[in-house]
A and B are shown apart, each in its own frame.
Chain A
Amino acid sequence: MTATQQHTTGRVSGIISNLVLVQVDGPVGQNEIGFIQMGDTPLMAEVIKVMGDKAYIQVFESTRGLRPGMEVRFEGHMLEATFGPGILSRNYDGLMHDLNTMSGIFLQKGDYTSALDLDKAWAFEPLAKAGDEVAAGHWLGQVDENGIPHKIMVPFKLKGRYTVDSIVEKGDYKVQDTIAVLKDERGTEHKVSMLQKFPVKQAIKAYREKPRPYQLLETGVRTIDTLTPMVEGGTGFIPGPFGSGKTVLQQAISKQAEADIVIVAACGERANEVVDLFVEFPELEDPWTGRKLMERTTIIANTSNMPVAAREASVYTAMSIAEYYRAMGLKVLLLADSTSRWAQALREMSNRMEELPGPDAFPMDLPAIISNFYARAGIVHLNNGETGSITFIGTVSPAGGNLKEPVTESTKKVARCFYALSQSRADSKRYPAIDPIESYSKYLEYPELQRTLNEQIEERWTDKVNELRNILLRGKEAAEQINILGDDGVSIDTHLTFWRSEIVDEIILQQNAFDEVDARTPLDRQQYMVNKVLEVVDRPLSFDRYEEINPYFKRVINAMKQMNYSAFDSEDFKQNMQELEETLAEREVEEG
C-alpha cells in the first residue's frame, strides 16, 4: 500500500438498525473497513456483503441520527489488531481501542483511542544482526514487558524471505521508531518498527508445525485437572444454563492457570463481571510468578450493552492477540465468555440481510465459523524451534439450557474438552457444577498425555483417575436404586457405594471458588487428596444398620472438607487429618 493509493468512497443510501447500505464509487473488498462521516464523528464499519456498486456494511456503533447521503470512506484493509509492546494490562473494547484513555463516563461514538502507548520508550535489545536471513515472525529483538520477554518480530504481513540490512543498537525506542531495515529478494527496503498490524480474521501462521498437545495445563480446579484435564494448546468449552457457574469457573481458571499470558474476551456479557476483573486483577497475585495478575492479562470487553457488531470482532481481536504472543514462544490462555453472544450477533446481522436461515435462525455457516475459530488454538513449534501455545476455553449459553442447539452442537464437534455444567448440581450448590459423568477430556485418551501425567504426577495416575470415575458411576447407580427401592429396600453395600461416591464428589469435585484456600489446589495437593480419598474409599467398614451410615459419612466428609479449607500441611490440616483417622478407626473391620 502506498501513500498515493486512492480510497474508495461512497454515500449512505439505506439504514436498518446497524446494517447500512452504501452506494460506492470504486472497488471495495469483503470485510474491508470503512468510516461513515457523521458530522465530525467517524463511525467505524465493516463490509459484510457487496452487490454491484452497493456495499452492505455493519456499523460498530449506534446508527441513531445517521442520514442517507452521508459520506463513507473505505480504508483498503480489513479489521486489524495492533501489535507491539504494551498490550498486557490493558483493557480494550472489541475493536482494540483502549478503554482507559477514552474520555468521559459514557462511551462516545467515534472515540477511537490508540491500542498502544505511542509515546512510551521501551528498552530494546536486538536478537538478530545485519546479514541474517529472516521471514515473517522471526525474532529481531526483545523488550521487557511486565517481566515477560516481548519479542519484536518481522511483521506477519511480510511474505517471502528477507535479509536484515540494519538493526538498531540496544537502547530506548518508541513503538513507531524504526528498529530494523529489511531487504527483500529484489533488494527493496522495508522499515520495521515495534508496531505492526494484522487482520484479526486471518490466522497468524508463522510457525513450522502444530503437534498434538501432550502436556497438562494446570488450573488448580480439582475436577478439571484430575478428572478432565486441559492441556497446553488444548480447546474446551463450558456450556451451561444461566447461573450454573460458567463465569465463576472461567474466572478461576484465568486467575490460577499455569500460563504466561491470559487474554480474556468478555463477549456480550455483564459489565459488572468485567469490573470484577478490573478490580481484582491488579491486586491478586499470579500463583506462578508472584507478580500481579494484571501484568500477564489483557481484557477485551464488549459487554452486552456495547455495540453488537463489535461483538463478533471482539473474539477475533482476542484470538489475534493470543496468536501474536504465541509467536513469541509463550504459553497463552484465551478465554471467551460467552461464544453464544458472538453467534447471536452473527444471527442478528444475517437476519437483517435476509439470508436464508439455518437451525434456530442462526446463519447456515455457523458450524464452519466456530470450527475455524477453534482451529486457531493449539501448540506450535516455531520456525526457530521454540514452542508456543494457545489454550482456548469458551463458554456457551444454550437457549433454555438445552444442549441440543446449534452453538453447543457445533462447538462440541471441535472442542476437545467438554465441561458440562448441570442445573441440578448448581441448584444443590455443588460447585463447580461440572457434571463428572457427562463431561470429558479427549486428551485423556492421548497416550502422549497419559505418559506425561504418569511421569509428572505419579506412576499409574491415570488408573487412579479411572478409578475415581468408576466410583462416581457406581455411586450414581446406587443413588438411583435407593431412590426407587427406598433406604431399607437396598443392601448396606449399596448405601456404602453411594456414600463413597459422595466422598469423591464432596472432596474432589466440589470446590469453593470464593474460599482463599480451597479456590486453588496445586497439583501436588490434588495428588495427595486423591490418594487420601481412594484410601478412605477402599477401607472396609462395618455397619449393622443403614441408619448409621449417613451420619457417619457426614462426619468423614466434614473432616476431609475441613482439610480442603486448611492450608496444606498446616497445624489445622494435621488436626483435621487426625480427626479423620479417629473417625475411620471407629468402624474398622477387625482383621481375621
Chain B
Amino acid sequence: MPTAFQRIYTKVEEITKATCTVHATDVGYEELATVNGQLAQVVKIMGEKVTLQVFAGTQGVPTDAEVVFLGKAPSLKVGDALAGRFFNAYGLPIDGGPEVEGREQEIGGPSVNPVRRKQPSELITTGIAGIDLNNTLVTGQKIPFFADPDQPFNQVIATVALRTAADRIVLGGIGLTNDDYLYFKSVFENAGALHRIVSFVNTTEDPTVERLLVPEMALTAAEYFAVEKKEKVLVLLTDMTLYADALSIVSNRMDQIPSKDSMPGSLYSDLAKLYEKAVQFEEGGSITIVAVTTLSGGDITHAIPDNTGYITEGQLFLRRDTDIGKVIVDPFRSLSRLKQLVIGKKTREDHPQVMNAAVRLYADAANAKTKLENGFELTDYDKRTLDFARGYSEKLLAIDVNIDTDKMLDTAWELFASHFSKAEVGIKQSLTDQYWPGQ
C-alpha cells in the first residue's frame, strides 16, 4: 500500500510486452516500482521518461495504471530464518510459512575485491568417481552440468548436493517444472536436510521475466551465510539456459541489437556477474556454484553454453554409456579447472597421473571402437583397451558408484594391472614402483 513518501504516477505513455514508460522525476536507476500492483524495475531513464520492466509482463496494463516508485532496488530480507524455507523470485514465501524477518539486503550487490579472495583449496567429495577422481571439485568453484534436456541432471545435482559436506545448500530453481520442484522438495525432506536448505523457485507456471531475479536472490542468501556465518555454501542453479532465454526476451523487447543466437551482446557479462559470486573467503566461508545448462541438440557452440564455458571453472557432461547401460560423467569433455589445486596435494600423490593415464587409455579404447565400427581388425592392444574401458565405466565412471577417492585410485591401479603393462600405462616410475598391484 502506498505511503505518503512514495511517488505515484498514473500516466503511462508507452507499453510494450515487457516494459512501460511513464513521465516521472527523481527516480533512481534500477529502482523498484509497482505498476498496478505488479513489481517492475527501472531499466532506462531519458530525462523525465522512465522505462520500467514489468516482471510479470504487461498484459492488462492500462495507460492509466498506477505506478508507484518504492525508492529501493530489489532486495531480500536475510537472516537465519531463511533456512528450510521455499521462496518465489521476489523472495516471498511459497511454502505457506510466514514472511522472514531480517535485514533488507539489495540483491546483485558489489563484487569481492580479488585481492581479498582466498585461493580455493578445500576439496569437495561426492563419491562419484567421474567427479572426485577425474574432475575434482573445490569450494569456491563454479561449474555447470552441460546436459541434454532428457538427462537426469536434477537428480544428479540433488545427489551431489546431499553428499557434499556443505553447511548450507541454496537452490535457485529457474523455470523448474512443477514436478521437478516437488522432486527437490521431497528429496531434501527425505534426507532430513531441509534445515540446511534455502530455495528460491520460479516454476514454468510463473512469468518468464521473473526468472531473472532468482539467481541473484539465491546468491544474496548464499552471501549472507558465507560472509556473516562463515559457512560453506553450495548454490544449485537449474536451469541457467532458461535464465539466458529470459535475458534475450527482455533485451529483444528493448530493441537491443542481438548478437550470436539472438542473445544479448552482454550475455557474457550478465552470466559472469552471477557465476563470479563463487568465492572462497579468507575467514572460512565459501560459495560454490553447481549449475545446469541444458543444451539443444548437444550443441555446445550455442551462445549460452559457449559463454558459460568461458566463465565457469570447467564443465561436467553426462552421457549414457550404452555398453553398461548406465549414466556416466563423460571423462573426455568434462573438466574441472580447479582440480590442480587439490589433486595430489589434498589427495594421494598418485592421483594426477592415475587420472590422466586412465583417461588416455579410455581414449585409446574409443579409437579402437571406431576402428571396429569401420570394420577394421583390432590389435591385441585395442582389445585390451576395450576391456579396460568397460571396467572403468562400470567400476568408476557410473554415476551410481559411491566410494572414497583412495578406493577410486586403488580400483584404477587394479584395472591398469589387469589389462596393461607398466610401459603401456606410462606413469612415472616412482609411483608405479609403489602402487602397481601385486609386485
CA distance A21 to B29 in the complex (A): 13
Given A242-B309, A275-B118, A562-B429, residue A14 in contact with residue B112 (CB < 8 A): no
The answer, among B113, B311, B360, for a CB contact under 8 Å with A107, is B113
B273 within 8 A of A: yes
CA distance A241 to B309 in the complex (A): 9
Residue-wise, chain B 231-273 has the 8 Å CB interface mask toward A (1 for contact) of 0000000000000000000000000111110000110110011
CA distance A279 to B46 in the complex (A): 46
A303 surroundings in chain B (CB, below 8 A): 111, 114, 276
B371 within 8 A of A: yes
Given A99-B113, A275-B118, A554-B424, residue A547 in contact with residue B29 (CB < 8 A): no
CA distance A486 to B333 in the complex (A): 27
B273 surroundings in chain A (CB, below 8 A): 304-305
Chain B residue at minimal CB-CB distance from A102: B113
Evaluate contact between B45 and A427: CB separation under 8 angstroms: no
B152 within 8 A of A: no
Evaluate contact between A272 and B29: CB separation under 8 angstroms: no
Evaluate contact between B260 and A276: CB separation under 8 angstroms: no
From residue A113, how far is it (CB to closest CB) to chain B in Å?
Answer: 11
B110 within 8 A of A: yes
Give residues of chain B (65-118) contacting chain A, Cβ–Cβ below 8 Å: 73, 106, 108-118
Evaluate contact between A429 and B114: CB separation under 8 angstroms: no
Evaluate contact between B115 and A242: CB separation under 8 angstroms: no
A466 within 8 A of B: no
A308 surroundings in chain B (CB, below 8 A): 266, 269
B259 surroundings in chain A (CB, below 8 A): 347, 360-361
Residue-wise, chain A 1-42 has the 8 Å CB interface mask toward B (1 for contact) of 000000000000111100001000000000000000000000
The answer, among A68, A99, A429, A555, for a CB contact under 8 Å with B360, is A429
B111 surroundings in chain A (CB, below 8 A): 106-107, 271, 303, 305-306
Give residues of chain A (487-539) contacting chain B, Cβ–Cβ below 8 Å: 487-488, 514
B5 within 8 A of A: no
A160 within 8 A of B: no
B424 surroundings in chain A (CB, below 8 A): 551, 554
Give residues of chain A (293-324) contacting chain B, Cβ–Cβ below 8 Å: 301, 303-306, 308
B30 within 8 A of A: yes
Give residues of chain B (260-316) contacting chain A, Cβ–Cβ below 8 Å: 260, 265-266, 268-269, 272-273, 276-279, 281, 301-303, 306, 309-311, 313-315
Evaluate contact between A68 and B47: CB separation under 8 angstroms: yes
Evaluate contact between A271 and B117: CB separation under 8 angstroms: yes
A427 surroundings in chain B (CB, below 8 A): 332-333
Chain B residue at minimal CB-CB distance from A565: B428
Instruction: Of the listed stretches B207-215, B319-327, B375-383, B402-410, name the one at the interface; the rest are far from the partner chain.
Output: B375-383
B127 surroundings in chain A (CB, below 8 A): none
CA distance A486 to B367 in the complex (A): 12
From residue A223, how far is it (CB to closest CB) to chain B in Å?
Answer: 19
Instruction: Of the listed stretches A58-66, A373-381, A433-441, A451-459, name the one at the interface; the rest are far from the partner chain.
Output: A58-66
Chain A residue at minimal CB-CB distance from B427: A558
Greatest chain B CB density within 10 A among A99, A278, A279, A400 is at A400
Given A348-B266, A547-B379, A562-B428, residue A274 in contact with residue B114 (CB < 8 A): yes
Instruction: Describe A's contact surface by its main secondary structure.
Output: mixed
B377 surroundings in chain A (CB, below 8 A): 486-488
Chain A residue at minimal CB-CB distance from B332: A427
B379 surroundings in chain A (CB, below 8 A): 487, 547, 550
CA distance A515 to B30 in the complex (A): 49
The answer, among B44, B116, B281, B423, for a CB contact under 8 Å with A555, is B423
CA distance A265 to B188 in the complex (A): 44
Given A14-B46, A16-B44, A341-B268, residue A429 in contact with residue B112 (CB < 8 A): no
Chain B residue at minimal CB-CB distance from A308: B269
A550 surroundings in chain B (CB, below 8 A): 379, 381
Evaluate contact between B337 and A243: CB separation under 8 angstroms: yes
A82 within 8 A of B: no
Measured as residues with beta carbon below 8 angstroms from the partner, the interface class of chain B is 35 or more
Evaluate contact between A108 and B428: CB separation under 8 angstroms: no
Given A279-B119, A558-B426, residue A399 in contact with residue B110 (CB < 8 A): no
From residue A571, how far is it (CB to closest CB) to chain B in Å?
Answer: 13
Evaluate contact between A105 and B257: CB separation under 8 angstroms: no
A574 within 8 A of B: no
Evaluate contact between A243 and B314: CB separation under 8 angstroms: yes
The answer, among B29, B266, B332, B374, for a CB contact under 8 Å with A65, is B29
Chain A residue at minimal CB-CB distance from B251: A351
CA distance A550 to B360 in the complex (A): 15
Residue-wise, chain A 106-124 has the 8 Å CB interface mask toward B (1 for contact) of 1111000000000000000
B159 within 8 A of A: no
Evaluate contact between B117 and A402: CB separation under 8 angstroms: no
Evaluate contact between A64 and B117: CB separation under 8 angstroms: no
CA distance A274 to B311 in the complex (A): 14
Chain A residue at minimal CB-CB distance from B366: A428
Measured as residues with beta carbon below 8 angstroms from the partner, the interface class of chain A is 35 or more
Evaluate contact between B313 and A357: CB separation under 8 angstroms: no
B194 within 8 A of A: no
Given A106-B113, A360-B259, A401-B301, residue A486 in contact with residue B376 (CB < 8 A): yes
Residue-wise, chain A 198-241 has the 8 Å CB interface mask toward B (1 for contact) of 00000000000000000000000000000000000000000001
Given A242-B310, A270-B313, residue A278 in contact with residue B265 (CB < 8 A): no
Given A64-B73, A99-B114, residue A270 in contact with residue B276 (CB < 8 A): yes
From residue B216, how far is it (CB to closest CB) to chain A in Å?
Answer: 12
B363 surroundings in chain A (CB, below 8 A): 428
Greatest chain B CB density within 10 A among A102, A345, A429 is at A429
Evaluate contact between A400 and B28: CB separation under 8 angstroms: no
CA distance A305 to B109 in the complex (A): 11
Residue-wise, chain B 333-359 has the 8 Å CB interface mask toward A (1 for contact) of 101011010000000000010001001
CA distance A453 to B384 in the complex (A): 46
Evaluate contact between A348 and B27: CB separation under 8 angstroms: no
A561 within 8 A of B: yes
Given A108-B110, A272-B140, residue A67 in contact with residue B301 (CB < 8 A): no
CA distance A279 to B311 in the complex (A): 21
Evaluate contact between B269 and A304: CB separation under 8 angstroms: yes
Chain A residue at minimal CB-CB distance from B254: A16
Evaluate contact between B428 and A68: CB separation under 8 angstroms: no
A410 within 8 A of B: no
From residue B27, how far is it (CB to closest CB) to chain A in Å?
Answer: 7
From residue A443, how far is it (CB to closest CB) to chain B in Å?
Answer: 29
Evaluate contact between A357 and B310: CB separation under 8 angstroms: no
Evaluate contact between A14 and B47: CB separation under 8 angstroms: yes
Residue-wise, chain A 49-78 has the 8 Å CB interface mask toward B (1 for contact) of 000000000000011111111000000000
Given A64-B73, A67-B29, residue A105 in contact with residue B426 (CB < 8 A): no
A450 within 8 A of B: no
From residue B420, how far is it (CB to closest CB) to chain A in Å?
Answer: 10
B8 surroundings in chain A (CB, below 8 A): none
Greatest chain A CB density within 10 A among B109, B111, B313 is at B111
Given A305-B273, A351-B257, A488-B377, residue A91 in contact with residue B359 (CB < 8 A): no
B25 within 8 A of A: yes
Evaluate contact between A105 and B47: CB separation under 8 angstroms: no
B61 within 8 A of A: no
The answer, among B46, B73, B117, B260, for a CB contact under 8 Å with A21, is B46
B56 surroundings in chain A (CB, below 8 A): none
Evaluate contact between B276 and A271: CB separation under 8 angstroms: yes
Evaluate contact between A15 and B29: CB separation under 8 angstroms: yes
CA distance A62 to B109 in the complex (A): 10
**16 A-B pairs whose Cβ atoms sit less than 8 Å apart in the complex:** A14-B44, A65-B30, A69-B26, A107-B111, A241-B309, A268-B272, A270-B313, A271-B279, A303-B276, A304-B276, A347-B265, A351-B256, A352-B256, A400-B260, A401-B306, A555-B423
4 cross-chain pairs, A with B, having the tightest CB-CB distances, nearest first: A400-B301, A304-B272, A305-B276, A242-B309
**Known interface pairs A66-B28, A268-B269; 16 further A-B residue pairs with C-beta atoms within 8 A, sorted by A's residue number:** A13-B47, A14-B46, A62-B110, A64-B108, A65-B28, A102-B113, A104-B113, A105-B112, A272-B117, A274-B114, A305-B272, A351-B256, A400-B303, A428-B363, A429-B356, A487-B371
